[in-house]
Amino acid sequence: MMSKEGMLQQKVEDAKGLFKDRKVTICTIGLGRIGLPTAAMFAAAGANVIGVDINPEVVVNVNEGKSRFVDEPGLDKVIEEPVRLGKLRATTDFSSAIPKADFIIICVPTPVDHTKTPNYSAVISACSTVGKLIKPGSVVIIESTVGPGTVENLILPILESESGLRAGSEFGLASCPERSDPGNIVMNMKTVPRVIGAINQHCLDIVADLYETLLNIKVYKVNDPKTANAVKLTENLFRDVNIALANEFALVFEKLGIDSLEVIKACATKYNFMPHYPGVGVGGPCLPSNSYYLISEGVKAGHIPSLVRMAREINDRMPEHVVSLTSEALNEVGKTIRGSKIAILGVAYKPEIKDVQLTPMEPVCNGLARLGAVLDIYDPMFPGENVFGYTTRRSVAQAVNGADCIVMGTAHKEFLQLDLKLLAQLTESPAAFVDARNIISPKDALASGFSFRAVGRPSTSGSAQA
């Protein structure tokens, strides 16, 4: 009996023995920012890992032992050795990989579409293929972020119907949502406990042992996959809602002539407060999308999470506010957005990340361009490259030279020590400065001759304020 020999049919102690002896083959589907380090770390721990991706460029890159994520410290090193030792191979060929695997880990993207509806097509496609090729007794692990219930109600039926096997007895299924922050993935994967939920206790125990034994990480077992997915969403939505709350306070405090940054620093002296900061909005692959996975399940179940939805709206509207602040700051020096040359410093959605996915600086740039500004973008992660239709400059000086306004869009390290007086000399005086990330001292900006606006800080003109 094939099924007798599968991973799921092992006793927990026996499975653990196999993991300790590194007698385990893992197939990861998707070699992106999560899938690649996941594959590499299991391989570096001694497992046989086959990484599958539909993109041949990605596959070739991995097989050369290289990380294409220049912004993930340490990832290069994690990949190099297992590729050299033959522990990690990548392929575009699902049929050569999946049938060999004891565990198949799904790490494909789950974005939202332009109507903010979760788009599970990559997960559906991956699981259909896995279902066709899975060997009996293997275990499927979903690391992709999905709404609670998606594993039980969407993924499980696909796997069953494509494989002809029964979930629970003939193949295993678990959720182990990734909990890492881009830019810190390797460190996070080594330190942040994993939350795992599975369709039965035996499957849960085996998957938990896999992560504990090979990745040497703490595991937190929960009741079922939907609970694990709820955990992932709850922790990310906590951040999104609290950033929205910081933005809401910022918008009120601007009107009241109060400095939000001063408020937040003071609040942080209380034991039960956790600081979150206002800014141009929220970007990246997770926070701008994750809410909609919960909203979607809430709509279906008859309870729409309205606070979560409103938080999204608030964060989504912040780029418009930054455009308004730019207009105000330029107005103060007698200029309009139309015809102004505006230097954009930073477009990545967060510091030290080479990623403009859903970055709030894209609507800022487009908004300013639509109003007639000429943009010069510089981002240290994208020097002289094309980002959302703009060709970027190669230095701060290049971008700022002759500018009527500077908009600070990302708190990259390079921007934390700017000499504002020198910058002012490069600009077309009188010039404006808009800090959408609150890294510039308003005093310094004023002393350097800029008209100045920042998110959540009183206008420095002081004219309209109480």
The residues carrying an active-site annotation are 232, 286
How many angstroms separate the CA atoms of 441 and 364, rounded?
Answer: 22
Q: Could you say which DSSP state residue 461 is in?
A: T
Shortest Cβ 418–a copy of itself spacing (Å): 25
Shortest Cβ 139–a copy of itself spacing (Å): 21
User: Judged by CB under 8 A, which of 12, 54, 258, 446 binds a copy of itself?
Assistant: 258
- Measure CA 197 to chain center: 22
Instruction: For tokens 């979930």, name the residue.
Output: 167
Q: In Å, what is the CA distance from 232 to each residue of 184, 252, 268?
A: 17, 31, 26
Quote the tokens at residue 241.
């809602």
Q: Is 461 in the site for a copy of itself (CB under 8 A)?
A: no
Which of left, alpha, beta for 185 (phi over 0: left; psi -120 to 50: alpha)?
Answer: alpha
Q: Is 220 in the site for a copy of itself (CB under 8 A)?
A: yes
The upper half-sphere exposure of residue 399, i.e. CA atoms within 13 Å in the direction of its Cβ, equals 27
Q: In this chain, which stretch among 165-173, 252-260, 362-370, 390-398 interacts with a copy of itself, using CB under 8 A?
A: 252-260
Q: In this chain, which stretch among 108-116, 232-240, 283-291, 322-330 interacts with a copy of itself, using CB under 8 A?
A: 232-240
Q: Is 226 in the site for a copy of itself (CB under 8 A)?
A: yes
For a copy of itself (CB under 8 A), the number of binding residues is 63
Which of left, alpha, beta for 86 (phi over 0: left; psi -120 to 50: alpha)?
Answer: left
Q: Is 195 in the site for a copy of itself (CB under 8 A)?
A: yes
* Helix axes of 12-20 and 201-215: crossing angle, nearest 10 degrees: 20
Cβ proximity to a copy of itself: between 90 and 287 the closer is 287
How many angstroms separate the CA atoms of 278 and 275, rounded?
Answer: 10
Cβ proximity to a copy of itself: between 297 and 414 the closer is 297
Quote the tokens at residue 420.
């504002």
User: Judged by CB under 8 A, which of 60, 70, 267, 397 binds a copy of itself?
Assistant: 267
Q: Is 252 in the site for a copy of itself (CB under 8 A)?
A: yes
Number of neighbours of residue 77 by Cβ within 10 angstroms: 12
How many angstroms separate the CA atoms of 113 and 108, rounded?
Answer: 15
Shortest Cβ 331–a copy of itself spacing (Å): 19
Report the site for a copy of itself in 304-363 (rule: CB under 8 A).
Answer: 305-308, 310-311, 314
User: Judged by CB under 8 A, which of 5, 235, 385, 419 binds a copy of itself?
Assistant: 235
Report the site for a copy of itself in 105-164 (rule: CB under 8 A).
Answer: 148-149, 152-153
Cβ proximity to a copy of itself: between 82 and 149 the closer is 149
Q: In this chain, which stretch among 59-67, 79-87, 126-134, 262-270 interacts with a copy of itself, using CB under 8 A?
A: 262-270
* Helix axes of 260-267 and 225-256: crossing angle, nearest 10 degrees: 130
Shortest Cβ 325–a copy of itself spacing (Å): 14
User: Judged by CB under 8 A, which of 127, 244, 280, 408 binds a copy of itself?
Assistant: 244
How many angstroms separate the CA atoms of 60 and 140, rounded?
Answer: 25
How many angstroms separate the CA atoms of 259 and 443, rounded?
Answer: 13
Instruction: For tokens 């590194």, name the residue.
Output: 22
Q: In Å, what is the CA distance from 296 to each residue of 107, 229, 370?
A: 21, 13, 33
Report the site for a copy of itself in 271-310 (rule: CB under 8 A).
Answer: 271-274, 294, 297-298, 301-303, 305-308, 310
Report the site for a copy of itself in 406-435 (rule: CB under 8 A).
Answer: none
Preceding omega of 111 cis (within 30 degrees of 0): no
Cβ proximity to a copy of itself: between 111 and 305 the closer is 305
Quote the tokens at residue 320.
């418009």
Residues that bind a copy of itself (CB under 8 A): 148-149, 152-153, 179, 192-193, 195, 218, 220, 222-223, 226-228, 230-231, 234-235, 237-239, 241-242, 244-245, 248-249, 251-259, 262-267, 269-274, 294, 297-298, 301-303, 305-308, 310-311, 314, 466
